[in-house]
Structure 1
Amino acid sequence: MTNLNEQITQLLQQELVIALGCTEPVAIAWAASVARSHVHGEMTHMDVTISSNVMKNAMAVGIPGMKQTGIDFVAALGAIAGDPNRKLEVLTGVPAEAESKAEAFIAANKVQIKLTDSPKKLYIELCVHSATEQAKVIIEDVHTNITRIEVGDDLIFAKACEYYHEQEDQESDLYSQLSLERIYQYIQDISLDDLELVKESITLNRAICMEGLKESYGLQVGKILKENVTKGLLSDDVITHAMALTSAGSDARMAGVMMPVMSNSGSGNQGIAVTMPVVAVAEKIKASEEKMIRAVAFSHLLAIWIKSKFGRLSALCGVTVAGASAAAAITYLLGGDVNQMSFAMQNAIGNVTGMLCDGAKAGCAMKVSTCTGAAVQSALLATSGMRVPGTNGIIGEGLDESIDNFCRLGNEGSLKMDELILDMMLNKRKEDNE
C-alpha cells in the first residue's frame, strides 16, 4: 500500500501531460490517427461525433504548424499524417504538405461532424472509412482515455467498466484526503527528485511564454503589455510582469506555435496559467529555485484538486481555477501562512468566478492575463490579512465551501450556458459563410 505522498506524486505524473496544441482539437486528431491506423487502403471519408464542450474548444483555435483551423481540418490532418503513438503530441513532425492534403479532403466534403447524444462533457467518436473497411475510436472523460476501438464488426479494445470504476473509486478516495493543508504539507516534505515533471513544466511553459513575448502571435496580449512597460505607460511591477509573461504563452499556443506545453488536468492554458504566474513572481522577488519549484508544484496540485470537483470542461473558464491555485502558491512565495493561502484562493474565486468559456481561441490570452493579475492581487491582499468575507456572494466562511459553490456553478449551471454559447458561435459561423 503506497503512502499518501506517493499517491500524490503519482497524481502529478498522471495529470501533468505534455501537449502540442490545444488539447481538444489535438485529442480529435489523435482519435483520427488511431482509427486510421486500423484501416487499410485509401481513406474515403470520416465521421466525427463530439460533445458540445469539445466542439466549442476545437472550432477556432490554431493548429500547431498550420494556417488552417477547424474540427474537420484537424480530424483530416490527424488521420492523414498524425502519429497514433504520440497521444497529445500526435501532430509532432507533421510535414507541411499534409496541410494541403487535409484541405483537399475536407473540400471534397469527406468529413461529417455532428454533436453526440452522450451527456459526457468530453466525448470524441471518430469513424474512418475506406472502400472496404471502417474503424471507430471513442475517447471519453479524459483527453487520452480511449474507451473503445471497433474495426468493422469486431470489438478490438474496450476499457472494462469494472476496471474504470475501480480506478475512479481509487482516485475518489485520494481526492477525499486532499485539502489545502495536506497539499501544503506535501510540497514541504517531498524530495525535489520527485518533482522532475514539475521542473519540466517550468522549462516547457517558460519557453513558449518567451516565444510569445518575442514574436507577434494572436492578439499579442503579453507582447503589448511588455511594450507598454518600455513606453512608460505601465510599470514593470510584479503584476504586470506576471500578466505579460503568462499571457504571452497563451498568445503563442492559441496561434498554433509548434512548441509543446505541460498541460494540467487536460488543459494547456491551465498548465501555463498555474505555472507561469508563480514563476514570474519568483523571478521578481528573487526566490530560490527550490522554493519556486515547490511553489509551482503547489499550484499544480491545487488546480488538480479543484478540477476533480469542477470537471475538465465547463461553461466557466478553467483558467479561473488556475488563478485561485496560483494565488495560494504566490502567497507561499511571499511568506504567507496556510490561513493566508486560503484567503488568497477565496479572493481569487470571489474575483474571477463567472468568466465564461466561449471556446479556445486568440482571446483566451486576455482571460489568462486577467486571471493572472487576479492571482497576484489576491495574494497581496491575503498577505495583508484581507479576504472577501463569507457574507459576499458565493464565498463561504471557509475555503471548502467557497470551492464547492464555485464548482456547483461550473457543473449545475453549465448545461444551459453551454447550449447558449455554442448556439451563438454556430450562428455566427453561419452568418460568416452566407
Structure 2
Amino acid sequence: MQKITHPQFLDWLKKEVRISLGCTEPIAIAFAAAVAAKYIKDPILKITGQISENLYKNAMGVTIPGTSYCGVNLAGAIGGNSDAGLEVLKGITAAQIAEAYALNESGKVHLDAVEADNFIFIDLTLYSLNNRCRVIIQENHTNVTDIYVNNIKQTLKGEWVRESDDNLLPHFSLKEASDFVNHVPIDDIAFILKSAEVNTALSDEGQRKNYGLNVNGALSQARKNGFISTDLLSQMLINTTAASDARMGGAPLPAMSNYGSGNQGITVTMPVVTLARHLDTDDETLTRALALAHLVAISIHARYSRLSALCAVSTAAMGAAAGMSWLLTRDDQTISYAISNMISDISGIICDGASNSCAMKVSTATACAFKSVLMAQQNSTAGERDGIVSSNVENSINNLCQLALSPMRKTDKEIISIMTLK
C-alpha cells in the first residue's frame, strides 16, 4: 500500500462519512431525477431510464423517507432538492409525495434493471411537453458524469465535476489508521463527533416509535420479560438496531453514513457510542475511537466494490470492533485479533437488497463485533488454520474482499434474479 498522509486520512473521512437521509440507493435515484428537473422548468410528464442490477436490488424494498411507500419508480418520481446531495428528500411535502405517487400509478415512470460495468449506475431521463433531460450517475451515489438537455451535452460544473482516477485516495492499513488516530490533533477530527450525534438521534427515534420490523422493540420487550439480560450487550444491540429500524422504515431523520451507506455508518458508530457511555469517556476519547472505527471500515470496504453480494454491515461492524478495542485497550494487536475473529465468524452474510430486514443483519454484526472484542482482550483469536483467516490481519481482510470481488459476483446475480422474479 502507498503511504498515506495526514491530509489524505482527513480527506477519506470527509469524503466517506457523510449525512444521508434515507437508504442511499433510492436516494441516488431521487437525486438523479432532481438534477434533471433543474433543467426542465415545465411539468414532468414521463420518466424513463435504466439502473444497475445492484442498485435496483438495494432500492426496490426499502421505505422512502418521509413516506409509507417503497419502490424504484417512486423514488425517481419524487425528485427533491439536488443541491442537498444525499439529503435530497429533506423537506419534501405531502403534496410532492402525492404528485409523485399519481405519476407513478399512471404508468408514466419506468426504470429497468440492467447489467452494467459499474455497480452504481443510473441513466435517467425526464420528459416534459417540449423538453427532456438525461442524467447519468456512475461509481458513487451522487457522481454525475453526464447531463444532456434535448440531446445536447452540458458542461458539468462545481460539485458535479467528475473526480479523475488521478485524484483517488490511496488505500491504507489498520496500523496506519491507528497511528493517525493516536497522534492527530483532536481539533482536526472534531467533526467526526457529529456521527455520534446524528446516529444517536436516529436511534432514539427508532426506540420512540415502531419502524420497519421493529427489531429493537422485540429486544426491549425480551428484556422486560426476563428472556434476555439488561446488560451492556443488549443495550448495544438495541441502540444500534433501533437506528437501522428507523432508517429502513422511512423515518424522516438523516443518518451519518460510512462509504455510501447509512446502515454501515450506524453499525460503525452506535456500538462505539454505547460502550463509550458505559465507560463514561470524554468527548476527545470518543472522537478518536469513532475516527478509528470509521477509518477501519473505510479501509476494508475500499478493497472491494461499493455494492456486492457481501453484506457490508458485516465489514462496517469490523470498524466498530476496532473502535471498541481501542476504547478498551489502545492496543493494535487486540484490534487485529478482533477483526480476525469477525472474519472467521460472519463472512458468509449475503446482501439481498436494502429492506427492513437489514436491521436484523445489523443486530447480528453488532453482537459479533462485541463478542470478537471480548475474545481479543483475552488474546483469543482465529488464526491461519481457520478457514480464510491468515496470520496477518491485512491478508485476512484481502482474502475476504477477494471473495466479494470474484466468486460472489455469481451469487449476486442469483440473488438479483430471485428478487426481480418474485
Aligned residues: 418
Aligned pairs for 1:316-327 (under 5 A) are: 316-327=310-321
User: What residue is the counterpart of 2:165 in the other structure?
Assistant: 165
1:264-305 Cα offsets, whole Å, 9 max, x none, are 110000000000011111122323332122111100001111
Picking from 378, 382, 395, the partner of 1:401 is: 395
One-letter code aligned to 1:68:
Y
1:143-182 Cα offsets, whole Å, 9 max, x none, are 12111111112111359999612123xx1xx31xx21111
User: What residue is the counterpart of 2:83 in the other structure?
Assistant: 85
User: What residue is the counterpart of 1:229 in the other structure?
Assistant: 223
Segments of structure 1 that go 5 or more residues without pairing to the other structure are: 429-434
Q: Counterparts of 1:163 and 1:21 in 2: how far apart (Å)?
A: 25
Matched residue of 2:46: which SS? strand
Q: Counterparts of 1:336 and 1:239 in 2: how far apart (Å)?
A: 21
1:191-244 Cα offsets, whole Å, 9 max, x none, are 222223311110000110111112111111112212322322211222211111
1:59 aligns with 2:60: yes
Matched residue of 1:128: which SS? strand
Aligned pairs for 1:161-240 (under 5 A) are: 164-168=164-168, 171=169, 174-175=170-171, 178-240=172-234
Matched residue of 2:286: which SS? helix
1:116 aligns with 2:114: yes
User: What residue is the counterpart of 2:21 in the other structure?
Assistant: 20
Picking from 315, 321, 325, the partner of 2:309 is: 315
RMSD: 1.7
Q: Counterparts of 1:137 and 1:417 in 2: how far apart (Å)?
A: 30
Contact 1:16 1:197 in 2 (8 A): no
Q: Counterparts of 1:414 and 1:86 in 2: how far apart (Å)?
A: 34
Q: Counterparts of 1:336 and 1:387 in 2: how far apart (Å)?
A: 17
Identity percentage of aligned residues: 37
Q: Counterparts of 2:163 and 2:267 in 1: how far apart (Å)?
A: 33
Contact 1:150 1:157 in 2 (8 A): no
User: What residue is the counterpart of 1:151 in the other structure?
Assistant: 149
Q: Counterparts of 2:12 and 2:111 in 1: how far apart (Å)?
A: 34
User: What residue is the counterpart of 2:131 in the other structure?
Assistant: 133
User: What residue is the counterpart of 2:341 in the other structure?
Assistant: 347
Contact 1:214 1:223 in 2 (8 A): no
Deviation at 1:64, TM superposition (A): 0.8
Contact 1:87 1:144 in 2 (8 A): yes
Picking from 372, 384, 389, the partner of 2:383 is: 389
Segments of structure 2 that go 5 or more residues without pairing to the other structure are: none
Q: Counterparts of 1:369 and 1:121 in 2: how far apart (Å)?
A: 26
One-letter code aligned to 2:219:
L
Q: Counterparts of 1:76 and 1:353 in 2: how far apart (Å)?
A: 37
TM-score by structure 2 length?
0.96
1:376 aligns with 2:374: no
Q: Which runs of 4+ in 1 moved over 4 A?
A: 158-163
User: What residue is the counterpart of 1:285 in the other structure?
Assistant: 279
Matched residue of 2:45: which SS? strand
Matched residue of 1:310: which SS? coil
TM-score by structure 1 length?
0.93
One-letter code aligned to 2:341:
N
Deviation at 1:3, TM superposition (A): 8.0
Q: Counterparts of 1:158 and 1:410 in 2: how far apart (Å)?
A: 33
